[in-house]
Every structure is written in structure tokens, then in C-alpha cells.
Amino acid sequence: MGGGLRAGVSLAYFRVLDRDGVFQVALADSPELILGVTVLEGLGVKVDPVTGKLEYSRPYSLATLSSHPPGKPA
């Protein structure tokens, strides 16, 4: 069986095409840079399976995440 992987967690700013945002990332030793689907989906971007190029998957709008229910003060 494989062993576990230890990773730190932080926030990072990403800019893909003309869209940007801050997303949670795992920081670990890796020989390659890895961009997860969470960032792409969050920015409304996808990989075209035929060309391998990035394209828009939906209109882009500002979204916020909050632990407070709507209508309740923070």
C-alpha cells in the first residue's frame, strides 16, 4: 500500500485567461505544478478535450463564500 502525503494548506491567487480569484491550495513537494479542477470550475474555465486548450465554460461573475447565512450580519 502507498504511504500518506503531508501537505500544508494556504490560499493562492490565480489568473487564468482574463479571470482571477483566490482559492485554497495544498502545498506539497511535487516534481510538477498541478492546477486542480476546483480552480478551473471556480473561474468558469474548462479544458477542451479535443484541443487541450482552455476555454470558457460559463459566464464569469463574482461569487463569495461565507459561513454566515444570507440576511444575517457577519
pLDDT tens figures, 18-68: 999 999 988 888 777 777 788 898 899 999 999 999 999 988 775 544 444
Q: How many CA atoms lie within 13 A of 39 on its CB side?
A: 20
The domain total for the chain is: 1
- Specify whether the CB–CB gap between 19 and 46 falls below 8 A: no
Instruction: Decide if 61 is inside a domain.
Output: no
Note whether residue 62 is domain-resident. Answer: no
Q: Does the residue 71 lie in any domain?
A: no
- Is residue 64 in some structural domain? no
Is the model's pTM score more than 0.75?
no
Domain boundaries, position 32 = 8-56
